Amino acid sequence: MNTLTLAHYYTTPDVQAMADYVGDSLELALIAQREQTDRIVFAGVQFMAETTKMLNPAAQVILPDERATCSLVTQTDIEALKQWREKYHDHVHVSYINSSAVHKTLSDWIVTSRNVDDIIASIYAEGKQVIFSPDRNMGAYLNYQYGYNMPVWDAVCEVHDKFKDEQIQYMIEHAKADGDVYLLAHPESPLPVLKRADVVGSTKQMLDWVNKFNGDIRSTIYIATEEGLLHNMRTLRPELNLQQAPIYSGCQCNACPYMKRNTVDLVKRAKQGEGFEIDYLDDDIIEKAKAPIERMLEFSKQQMEKTAA
Ligand code: SF4
């Protein structure tokens, strides 16, 4: 049996080393859609494995640990979401990919942190109104950055929501004595942190920024995202002073407990077919949830072609 192993940047380095591909949500979704394989082991969280199953229904999709969920999913009550959707029935519902399969069936567009700005801009350009779910911080940032007034759902990533502006400001002020200081932040972080950031971007966009950095190598670069990405950044640019941004307690650590459920042993077992199989999505859910995902993937492919041209 052919087995493909995909791992998100937020898994540990030893798990990433076991994968055929390591990437962010958008990269891994595109790989899941195009690869022909019998089995896909997804070292990530449940909504990612569900998306993989929708895009590659012929493959057996296994999540190493069924407890690998996400606070954006568990904080979203689906019945309440249906009522909210109904209240704004004349709006376009844009949902972040960090959402359950049923949540996606209630959406018109799925977005990732890499393409959310462009997709929402394109919807507004058509003269339509938008509602955004489930990430409150990301929605607040989009409203602030572009002057939108989108109604926004109220859930957070429990990992990124811990970054505290006061702590970050304090660290930046002290680091300035040693040279230039930069702050890179993921848009799931709180708005005050995002307002302070030099770069707001997805995991891949932050990784690319670090890779191309040509400033003074004595600069201090703070990263406000899950700590797993620091490993990838330090591998690419070991000479840079890359630091995890502090969270509320002042400590410089911020691990996603769900991503870290993917241990080496569980990934090994998943490669043998053991683990939590994504076999519970019926055809109707797959059909309805896949449409907004494929809309997003098509949009992103066109954007990438334009950039490459
Ligand atoms: S880092 Fe946040 S958004 Fe990502 S899986 Fe963990 S809880 Fe969910």
Quick count: other Cβ atoms within 10 Å of Cβ 308?
A: 6
Answer whether 133's CB lies under 8 Å from 81's CB: yes
Domain boundaries defined on the chain = 3-68+259-278, 70-158+282-309, 160-244
Distance CA 115, CA 74 (A): 24
Sheet hosting strand 199-200, strand order edge to edge: 199-200, 181-185, 220-224, 241-244
Residue whose Cα lies nearest atom 8 of ligand 1: it is 70
DSSP-based three-state secondary structure for 210: helix
Topology match between the domains 70-158+282-309 and 160-244: yes
To test the pocket of ligand 1, the residue of 71, 113, 133, 137 to mutate (highest count of ligand atoms within 8 Å of its CB) is 71
The dihedral sign for the CA sequence 188, 250, 234, 70:
negative
Q: Between 136-146 and 116-125, two packed helices, what is the crossing angle to 10 degrees?
A: 60
At 82 the pLDDT is: 98
- Burial code of 106-129, b = ≥16 C-beta within 10 A, e = fewer? bbbbbbbbbbbbebbeebeeeeee
Question: What are 230's two structure tokens?
Answer: 């620091």
Report how far ligand 1's centroid is from the alpha carbon of 216 (Å): 32
Length of the chain: 309
Distance CA 87, CA 49 (A): 30
Report how far ligand 1's centroid is from the alpha carbon of 176 (Å): 31
Q: What is the DSSP string of 189-209?
A: S-HHHHHH-SEE--HHHHHHH
DSSP-based three-state secondary structure for 182: strand
Distance CA 215, CA 196 (A): 19
At 252 the pLDDT is: 62
The H or E element spanning position 183 is: strand 181-185
Residue 19, exposed/middle/buried by CB under 10 A (0-12, 13-18, 19+)?
buried
Answer whether 260's CB lies under 8 Å from 231's CB: no
Q: What is the CATH number of domain 3-68+259-278?
A: 3.40.50.10800
Distance CA 211, CA 164 (A): 26
To test the pocket of ligand 1, the residue of 256, 260, 261 to mutate (highest count of ligand atoms within 8 Å of its CB) is 256
Q: pTM for the full model?
A: 0.94
Half-sphere exposure of 93 (CA within 13 A, CB side): 25
Instruction: Tell which atom from ligand 1 comes closest to the C-alpha of 160.
Output: 2
Report how far ligand 1's centroid is from the alpha carbon of 158 (Å): 7
Does the domain formed by 160-244 have CATH 3.40.50.10800? yes
Answer whether 88's CB lies under 8 Å from 151's CB: yes
Q: What is the CATH number of domain 70-158+282-309?
A: 3.40.50.10800
To test the pocket of ligand 1, the residue of 103, 158, 230 to mutate (highest count of ligand atoms within 8 Å of its CB) is 158
Binding pocket residue ranges, ligand 1, CB within 6 Å: 10, 45, 70-72, 98, 157-160, 188, 226, 256, 258-259
Residue 49, exposed/middle/buried by CB under 10 A (0-12, 13-18, 19+)?
buried
Instruction: Tell which atom from ligand 1 comes closest to the C-alpha of 159.
Output: 2
- In degrees, rounded to 5, the angle at the alpha carbon of residue 12 between the alpha carbons of residues 11 and 13 is 120
Listed residue (278, 220, 273) closest to 244, CA to CA? 220
**Per-residue pLDDT tens listing for the chain (309 residues):** 899 999 999 999 999 999 999 999 889 989 999 999 999 999 999 999 999 999 999 999 999 999 999 999 999 999 999 999 999 999 999 999 999 999 999 999 999 999 999 999 999 999 999 999 999 999 999 999 999 999 999 999 999 999 989 999 999 999 998 899 999 999 999 999 999 999 999 999 999 999 999 999 999 999 999 988 999 999 999 999 999 998 776 566 689 999 999 999 999 999 999 999 999 999 999 999 999 999 999 998 888 888 777
